Amino acid sequence: MKYIISETGQFPPQYKVLQENENGIWTPIFGPDPDLEDAQRKVAELQPSKKVEKPIVEVKVEKSKKNKPKEVVAKKAPAKKGKSKKTATKK
């Protein structure tokens, strides 16, 4: 059997699931429903399910290096600048 989702053409949109008869006539079997996802779920339920084998994905686990603490490199403190000398001004 074939199934399709049809919009009613009204606002707000509503969806119906239609089934094709032997005569080629589409008859509503579900709806109207305002949620498109519900209509898609209903079509998925009605269609004969074909088992699709998903390829097996191998997960590689990287071996972490031994739990060694990271070496901390000491940084030198920036050199302190001395106070700038004021030039003498005449009054």
- DSSP characters for 12-81? S--EEEEEE-TTS-EEEEEEEES-HHHHHHHHHHHSPP---PPPPPPPP-PPPPP-PPPPPPP-PPPPPP
Query: Tokens representing 23?
Result: 């005569």
| pLDDT interval class at 11 (50, 70, 90) | confident
Mean pLDDT over 75-86 rounds to: 71
Query: Tokens representing 85?
Result: 């000398």
Highest mean pLDDT among 29-33, 59-63, 65-69: 29-33
pLDDT greater than 70 at residue 33: yes
- At residue 8, the pLDDT reads 82
pLDDT greater than 80 at residue 44: yes
Q: Is pTM beyond 0.85 here?
A: no
